[in-house]
Amino acid sequence: MVRLYQSGIIATGSYVPDTVITNHDLEKIVDTSDEWIVSRTGIRERRIADKDMAASDLATKAAQMALQGSGLTASELDMIIVATVTPDMNFPSTACLVQRNIGAVNASAFDLEAACSGFVYGLIVAAQFIATGACRYIMVIGSECLSKFVNWEDRNTCVLFGDGAGAVILGRVEEGYGILSHILGADGNGADFLTLGAGGSRNPASFETVEKQLHCIHMDGSEVFKFAVRIMASMAEEVVKNAGLRKEEVDYLIPHQANIRIIEAARKRLELPEDRVYVNLDRYGNMSAASIPVALDEAVRQGRIKKDDNIVMVGFGAGLTWAACTIKWAV
C-alpha cells in the first residue's frame, strides 16, 4: 500500500568559490561595460571556480554544510540527487562523486538535468520518494561550474554566468507543512534557444567542435528573455493558486537568478514588495541549477525565512523547461 507523507526542507547549505570576477574585469577581455551589464541584467560580479575545481567539489561543500545543519549523519541519507548541466564528466554521475566524498554509504545517487529548472525538478522528484515512505532523507543539490563552458570571447554569454552550489535535505514534516504545490513543465520546441552542443552523441568532441567553440554555451538571449518573462510571472501566480493561497499570503519569493528584469516580472505578478524577494544575482550572476538553492540558503541564514512562512520558488531554463513550487516552511 502506498503511504503518503508530507515532505519539506529540513536543512540547507551552499558554497561559492572565492574568486570574484567583476564587470570591470570583463571590460578588459570583451567589448562590454559595467553600465550595460548592470542595466540589462542587474549583475555586478560573479564567482569563478579554480582550475582544479569541478561541480562535485562545489556540491560536496554545500552538502556538508546542509548535513551539519540537519544533525544527521551522511549514512542516514537514502538518496542524493544532483541537478547540473556542468557535471564533472558524462559518467559517473556527479551525485556518485558527492556520495563518495561525504560518505553517504546508504544513499542511491543520480544526476538530473533540467538546466536552470533542475533544482526544483529535483526537489519534486525527491518528494515522491518521501511521500511513499521509500526514502526518509534525501539530499537535493544544484551545482554548476559554468565558467568552464563559457566562451570568454562571447560578450552575449560570458557576462551572465557564475559558479556555485546549493544543497537541501528533504524529509518528512508535519501535515500542512512542506511542499504544498508544484508545477513542472517543458517545451522542446525551444530546444535550440540555449545549448551546449558538443561533447554528446550528436557532436562528439573533435578538433572541429573545439575550433567552433561548440563545447561552449550558445544562447539566443532575446528569445529566452521573452519566454522567461512570460513563464516566470504565470507560473508564480499559478503555483500559489494551486496551493490554495492568496497572493497576500506569500511571505517570500526565491526566483531563479538570471536577470533582474525577469525577476521583476514574477515579483509584480505576485504583487510582492521588493524586500520579499531574494536577489543575489548582483553578486553571483546566473548559476543555473545552483541559483535557487544558494539564494534559499542565504535567505534562511539571514533569518528572512522562518517557520510557517509561505515560500514560492520559480525557475526556467534551457530545454526549454520551467518549474515552480510553494513550500510552507517547517523548521
* 285-324 footprint of ligand UT7 as x/- string (CB under 6 A): -x------------------------------x-------
- Which is the catalytic residue, given 96, 116, 145, 158? 116
For residues 84 and 58, give the distance between their C-alpha atoms in angstroms, rounded to a whole number. Answer: 11
For residues 269 and 93, give the distance between their C-alpha atoms in angstroms, rounded to a whole number. Answer: 38
Annotated active-site residue 325? The verdict is no
- Closest Cα to residue 170, out of 286, 296, 61? 296
Cβ 228 to ligand UT7 shortest distance, Å: 5
- Which is the catalytic residue, given 135, 182, 286, 325? 286
Write out the three cell numbers for 324: 515552480
Nearer to ligand UT7, 227 or 329 (CB): 227
Cβ 92 to ligand UT7 shortest distance, Å: 26
Are 93 and 128 in contact by the 8 Å Cβ rule? The answer is no
Pairing of strands 321-328, 310-317: antiparallel
For residues 270 and 293, give the distance between their C-alpha atoms in angstroms, rounded to a whole number. Answer: 21
Q: Does 148 bind ligand UT7 (CB under 6 A)?
A: no
Annotated active-site residue 256? The verdict is yes
Q: Does 203 bind ligand UT7 (CB under 6 A)?
A: no
Q: Does 40 bind ligand UT7 (CB under 6 A)?
A: yes
Annotated active-site residue 215? The verdict is no
The set of residues, in sequence order, having a beta carbon less than 8 Å from that of 87 and lying 6+ positions away, is 55, 56, 93, 94, 111
Binding site for ligand UT7 (CB under 6 A): 32, 36-37, 40-41, 116, 155-156, 159, 194, 219, 221-222, 224-225, 228, 258-259, 286, 317
- Catalytic positions, written as ranges: 116, 256, 286
